[in-house]
Structure 1
Amino acid sequence: MAGSTSIYTIARRHAVATLLSMPIIMWVIPLFVSGKGYSFDAISGIMMPLMVTLLIVGGGGSLLLVCPNCRKSLFMRGPFSVPWPARTCSECQTDLTRIDRKGAPV
């Protein structure tokens, strides 16, 4: 299918979005809100839902991005999760830059 996006490109976009949103949620928003004079309770009321959302979207999304051949997560290297996706599947050695989510060539 011409014009499709590789699974590696999709996973890379997810990693960049997650890594860029972390400092915004953890530092920029609290500093901005505290600069406006809000209390710690108000700040934590804003921060907790944002952190839970980041955990679910960032962590859950990375587990859903898998090799189309063997279903191994692109973000797993052995027993550890890493913040950047693999270009080649560590399980079946598939080049993930050349196939889409369904396993078709890009």
Structure 2
Amino acid sequence: MTVYDHARRHAWWMLGALTVAVLFVAVVDRFYGHSTLAFAAAIVGLLVANRHMLAFNCPHCGKNLFFRGLFVVPWPNRTCGKCGARLD
């Protein structure tokens, strides 16, 4: 499996984690009122789920697949933005 396939799987994983976090905050808000602790727990959960994002790098030059210049995007590059290598 290529680095792009792993990064794409991580992107889908993060979409699921985001959905669970939003539902968690909505359920806590519905039954217990506005809770800052629930929001904080959801944010920490998303950070923990996304800890592997920095490991998806181009095998030729080391550029991260999720970075476009200074910006982080939710879907990985199929071709490296630095060296132009195909990653799929």
Measured in 1, the distance between the counterparts of 2:27 and 2:41 equals 17
Deviation sequence 1:56-86 (CA, Å, 0-9, x none):
432x322221111111100011221111000
**Alignment match, 2:19:** 23
Structure 1 consecutive aligned stretches of length 4 or more whose deviation exceeds 6 Å: none
Q: Does residue 85 in structure 1 map to residue 76 in structure 2?
A: yes
Provide the residue aligned with 2:27 in structure 1: 32
Provide the aligned C-alpha RMSD in A.
1.8
Q: State the aligned residue count.
A: 88
CA distance in 1, matches of 2:29, 2:46: 21
Percent identity of equivalent pairs? 35
The TM-score, its normalising length taken from structure 2, stands at 0.82
- SS at 1:73 equivalent: coil
The unaligned stretches of length 5 or more in structure 1 are 98-106
Unaligned runs of 5+ in 2: none
Residue 8 of structure 1 is matched in structure 2 by 4
Cα deviation, residue 50, structure 1: 2.9
Deviation sequence 1:10-34 (CA, Å, 0-9, x none): 00010111122213202x1122234
**Structure label with greater radius of gyration:** 1
| Higher relative contact order, structure no. (Cα contacts within 8 Å, ≥ 6 residues apart) | 1
* Aligned equivalent of 1:66, options 39, 42, 57: 57
